[in-house]
Amino acid sequence: MNWINEFTKASFSLYTGNTISAFQPLDFFHFYGLWYDLWLKRVVAAMEKLDAEHKGYAELKALLPTPSNMRALIQKAIPAYIGSGRGNKELYFRYTNFIARMLMEACPQDPFGMSSTPLNTPPEIRKIISEVNWQTASSEEARVLGKLITSTGSLVHGLYNDVVTDFGWDTYGPYPQQEKNGSFYTLLIRNFPDLRPQSLWPNEFLSPYKSVQIFQLYQDVEWLIACVGCHTMLKSGDPITGLKHFCVVADGQVLNVAEIKSLIMQLAEKAENIYSEIRKKNFEELKQMVMLQECYQLKNLFDAAALEWQPSEEMVKATSGKLLQTGILPQNVMMTDIEEYKKAFRLLEFETEVLNPR
């Protein structure tokens, strides 16, 4: 499989105008090298038990996280390989190739998110258009939905931090030229699949709903998904006047505007509370929280393989009392050139040593 070049082009957008020192609650790129090999051994063991390397995405879809999350899995594995001392090339080869293949099967038109996340097939999109309980949007409803996206996204960043944000928030589309009652629209689907990770947080910090999906039909509005769904950006048009129809579904229930406004307030309060809780944690507690969040994103895969998903005693011991690593990735450098990005983020080394060692 030859995927690293396309992945590099797509993931470069994540670091234009951004630095890894901005990630919260700690620089996990310099943390994973302490224990990631131990985790990947368990991931590959789960893959083997499920014969995942010989199965297609359609068979494994229910066990895998969102496309944006899978892209992030590859992004993090590369510096983790460098930080772990380059001792398990075969492990990283199998793991990253498996994730890359899943992405190419899930989103064949744009697997690594150069500009979109086309997860839904044309028949699935037509079914969504015909079956969703659409409500007509005014400028007021468009602003309410903007607040809903903000409050839900804020809670996601508390539940999962910058570590696995994409596990809790993805966006599918944009799907242009979708017909509804003789008019044509661009469909965008914002998906928040797990707002109640009870294995990570007490109930007081969790959303009243496990999942929330926001369906939106736009006219004269263009969107760009820059590798990960939470980085969906406006290319052109006015998203307030351009929103024509919408539907918000929470745990399978269609919410009206009053219910949406109530949910916004609840989620904003939960987000504030969880941020306060995170700020109380010391360095050792933050490390353990990050490790737990990272492991949680593949819980379904581990559960299906009847393997423990939580951090092992060996993983905890490998990080206890340890400082973060240094020098693996640049700390305060904003990438402006893709060749600079390839070198700084060790993509060239990973390609040479792991993917194409001969």
Q: Which amino acid type is present at position 173?
A: G
Rounded to the nearest angstrom, the gap between the alpha carbon of residue 120 and the centroid of all alpha carbons in its chain is: 17
Q: Report pLDDT for 17.
A: 66
Distances (CA, A) of 305 to 41, 74, 233, 302: 14, 21, 37, 5
Per-residue pLDDT of the chain (358 residues; tens, 9 = 90+): 689 999 999 999 887 766 666 677 888 999 999 999 999 999 999 999 999 999 999 999 999 999 999 999 999 999 999 999 888 999 999 999 999 999 999 999 999 999 999 999 999 999 999 999 999 999 999 999 999 999 999 999 999 998 999 999 999 999 999 999 999 999 999 999 999 999 999 999 999 999 999 999 999 999 999 899 998 999 999 999 999 999 999 999 999 999 999 999 999 999 999 999 999 999 999 999 999 999 999 999 999 999 999 999 999 999 999 999 999 988 777 778 899 889 888 999 999 999 987 5
Q: Report pLDDT for 3.
A: 96
Please list, in sequence order, all residues whose beta carbon lies within 8 angstroms of the beta carbon of residue 223, skipping any fewer than 6 positions away.
173, 174, 186, 188, 232, 233, 234, 235
The Cα 216–Cα 234 span in angstroms is 14
Q: Report pLDDT for 19.
A: 67
The Cα 186–Cα 175 span in angstroms is 5
Q: For the chain, what is the largest distance between any 2 Cα atoms, rounded to a whole number of angstroms? A: 63
Residue 191 β-bridge partners: 170, 213
Label residue 298 exposed, middle or buried (CB < 10 Å: 0-12, 13-18, 19+). Answer: buried
The Cα 305–Cα 49 span in angstroms is 6
Q: Report pLDDT for 267.
A: 98
Q: Are the beta carbons of 35 and 318 closer than 8 angstroms?
A: yes
Q: How many helices (H) and strands (E) does the chain have?
A: 14, 8
Q: Report pLDDT for 357.
A: 74
Rounded to the nearest angstrom, the gap between the alpha carbon of residue 332 and the centroid of all alpha carbons in its chain is: 23
Classify the C-alpha dihedral 45-50-51-54 as positive or negative.
Answer: negative
Residue 183 β-bridge partners: 180
The Cα 294–Cα 289 span in angstroms is 9
Please list, in sequence order, all residues whose beta carbon lies within 8 angstroms of the beta carbon of residue 184, skipping any fewer than 6 positions away.
177, 178, 219
The Cα 163–Cα 72 span in angstroms is 9
* Residue spans per domain, the chain: 4-106+284-355, 122-278
Place of tokens 């079956």: 131
